[in-house]
Structure 1
Amino acid sequence: MTLSPKTLFLTDGLGAVLSAFLLGVVLVRFAPISGMPETALRLLAIIACVFAVYSLLCYTFIKERWIAYLKTIACANLTYCCLTIGLLINYKKELTNLGWIYFLAELTVIIVLLSFELKTAFIRAGKEQQVPS
């Protein structure tokens, strides 16, 4: 199953806005509850803001040749997941149960989204390269 590129860009953009808000406002205010240091939360929030701008601009302006843009945000999401996992490993002793729940839930959502992004990009790219018989 694939989704339309516009749906994926919009979903990614709105999800990144939500992540930026939760990380940069909610969790920073209650940093001891999650156990993740404020500097790490702010870093993740800034990255989420950049991803939100990118995805929402793609949603608004990209009409054709969207495959490369979709692959780009999928790879960026994968990099974000790797960074988050690195932070989880680095701060594993400080993280609370609520912190683990939040970050594992966020990772799960992002991984599901990026799998749809990659599947859509590669399936559509394959169809565009097929030569009609």
Structure 2
Amino acid sequence: MNERTIFLLDGVGAALSFILSGLILPYFSDALGLSKELIYSLAGIPAICMIFSFRCYGFIKPIKSWMLLTIILANLAYSLISGSLIVFHDGLSDVGKYLLLAEILVVMGVMILEIRVLQKLRTFPRKSL
């Protein structure tokens, strides 16, 4: 996977997360044990990631390593916020915990791919003597 397609993957994943968090999950807020406001707040991070990733995928040439590092850190922040809800939010239902945990695992999988692409991007070919 190259640096351009990783941004497409991240953008699509962020779009799905935004649709889930911003449009679908608020209807199930009681079952999740999360307020609608909190769910809408969570949707903000994938919305920003979606815009950034699609912009990098479609318009930025060449991709710089700081761009990939930015999206990795944003995904990490989203995972940490979601994880802190699992640990510290008293009213969170089991369904809410499993949903957040599943999303964290998916985001971490994407982050692993992003880190691999970042490592390739930062590796420069060496000339043999």
Scaled by the length of structure 1, the TM-score of the pair is 0.89
Task: Report the aligned-residue RMSD.
Answer: 1.3
**1:66 offset after TM fit, Å?**
2.8
Distance 1:116 1:108 in 2: 13
| C-alpha separation in 2, matches of 1:131 and 1:10 | 29
Provide the C-alpha distance between the structure 1 equivalents of 2:14 and 2:54, rounded to a whole number of angstroms.
10
Contact 1:40/1:87 (<8 A) preserved: no
Offset from partner CA, 1:54-110 (integer Å, 9 cap, x none) = 00000101221432211110111111111111122221x312222112111100000
- Structure 1 30/22 Cα, relative in aligned 2: closer, same or farther at 3 Å? same
Alignment match of 1:56 (pick from 54, 57, 60): 54
**Corresponding residue for residue 28 of structure 1:** 26
C-alpha distance in structure 1 between counterparts of 2:50 and 2:5, whole Å: 14
For this pair of structures, how many residues does the alignment match? Answer: 128
Structure 1: 5+ residue stretches without partners: none
Query: Are the equivalent residues in 1 in contact too, given 2:3–2:121 (CA < 8 A)?
Result: no
Gaps of 5+ in 2: none
Question: Match for 1:96: what amino acid?
Answer: S
- AA aligned opposite 1:37: S
Q: 1:110 — aligned with what?
A: 107
2:63 and 2:110 map into 1 onto residues whose CA distance is 20
Is 1:95 aligned to 2:63, yes or no?
Answer: no
Q: How does the TM-score come out when normalised to structure 2?
A: 0.91
Give the corresponding residue for 1:122. 119
The match for 1:42 is: 40
8 Å CA contact retained: 2:4, 2:63: no
Which residue does 1:131 correspond to in 2?
Answer: 126
